[in-house]
Structure 1
Amino acid sequence: MKKSFIIATQVLALAFLPAAAHAQQDLINDPEIYEKDHFRKTCDIAQFGSGFLTRLDINNDGIVDAVTNHAELTCDGTRGPDCNEDGCPYNFYLRAKEGGYFMIATARIYGYDFVKRFGNMVFVMKMHPRFCERTDDKPCEMTVRVRGGRFVTISKK
């Protein structure tokens, strides 16, 4: 009986997986409008600094992508309401060749530099030292590049 229940559960899960996978692939027209609209609904007064959105080619495909920085949000008088000792949320969006954007990652970091290494642009993300398995107070520096639709860690120190 228990085995039949497990098999039935697996069959139901497989039946719904295509719908879940499709939902993850929905494109948004513009991450700036998408995120600002979200915060305008959740905050009585939402203000956005000039660094809230940065447009740059993060995956080296020649198409301009986007990064949002929640430290540049002031919600009801509180700057960076979702920031803490681990940093602030940054959302990374890729632009599809067909148009529209999809989010590939969210990271809680102190900030980043976008630099050229070995001919490719990479992120050097500054984050809490525990992400580099350290207990000192010097920020961890993780170097990542975007390959396909995901982050690939090159190094961390």
Structure 2
Amino acid sequence: MYLRKAIAALAGALLATIPLIADAQQQLVQDPERFERQHFSEICQKAMFDDGFAKRLDINNDGLMDMVIDEGKITCDGQGQYLCNEEGCPSNYYVQVKEGGYILIATARIYGYDFKMRFGNMVFVFRMHPRYCDRTEGDPCEMTVRVRGTRFVTINRK
């Protein structure tokens, strides 16, 4: 726990010029895929990672390859999608920084997403539980989101 706090403090000092979403989330990670694999290998007696667990994409259109971790692609002790529920599976979004390494900028519980070009920029179209569009039932909410720097900016919801 103390090591995590020290690393978070160091990351905050190194990244003082970058706007941050939530200081408590910030931890400089050299390799998010390895970091997450290690984490789940400590939690599970036997962790298996399916194809698509880690995807490298430039999510914030800055020319650096970022990473999306799909925790729905983990099998823990024989139970597939063990972190998923009726609202979907957790995904973690890491942005690569120029100083080296990655920072976690968001975690979202989603059914899935498309990553496509809109208005000259790459955006996510998340498929989420209807409650994210202020509905209690029906079709999944489709939320279009652009990543600017280290922030998710919602373009629209339907």
Alignment of 1:1-157 (within 5 A): 19=9, 22=12, 24=24, 25-157=26-158
Q: Distance in 2 between matches of 1:21 and 1:32?
A: 18
CA gap of 1:111–1:38, structure 2 versus 1, over 3 A, is same
Q: Distance in 2 between matches of 1:104 and 1:57?
A: 14
Question: What are the ranges of 5 or more consecutive residues in structure 2 without an aligned counterpart?
Answer: 1-7, 13-22
Alpha-carbon displacement from aligned partner over 1:21-50 (angstroms, at most 9, x marks no partner): 837543111000000000000000000001
Q: Distance in 2 between matches of 1:32 and 1:94?
A: 12
CA gap of 1:61–1:40, structure 2 versus 1, over 3 A, is same
Q: Determine which structure has greater relative contact order: mean sequence separation of CA pairs < 8 Å that are 6+ residues apart, divided by chain length.
A: 2
Superposition deviation, residue 116 in structure 1: 0.4
- Give TM-score scaled by structure 1 length: 0.85
Q: Distance in 2 between matches of 1:50 and 1:148?
A: 27
Is the 2:27–2:104 Cα contact (8 Å) retained in structure 1? no
Superposition deviation, residue 98 in structure 1: 1.6
Q: Distance in 2 between matches of 1:20 and 1:89?
A: 27
Identity %: 60
Superposition deviation, residue 135 in structure 1: 2.5
One-letter identity of the residue aligned with 2:76: C
The structure with the largest helix share of the pair is 1
Aligned positions, number: 140
Question: What are the ranges of 5 or more consecutive residues in structure 1 without an aligned counterpart?
Answer: 1-17
Q: Distance in 2 between matches of 1:101 and 1:124?
A: 23
Q: Distance in 2 between matches of 1:99 and 1:42?
A: 27
Q: Distance in 1 between matches of 2:62 and 2:11?
A: 24
One-letter identity of the residue aligned with 2:140: P
Is the 2:124–2:146 Cα contact (8 Å) retained in structure 1? yes
Could you say which structure has the larger radius of gyration? Answer: 1
Q: Distance in 2 between matches of 1:115 and 1:61?
A: 15
Superposition deviation, residue 80 in structure 1: 1.2
Match of residue 3 from structure 2: none
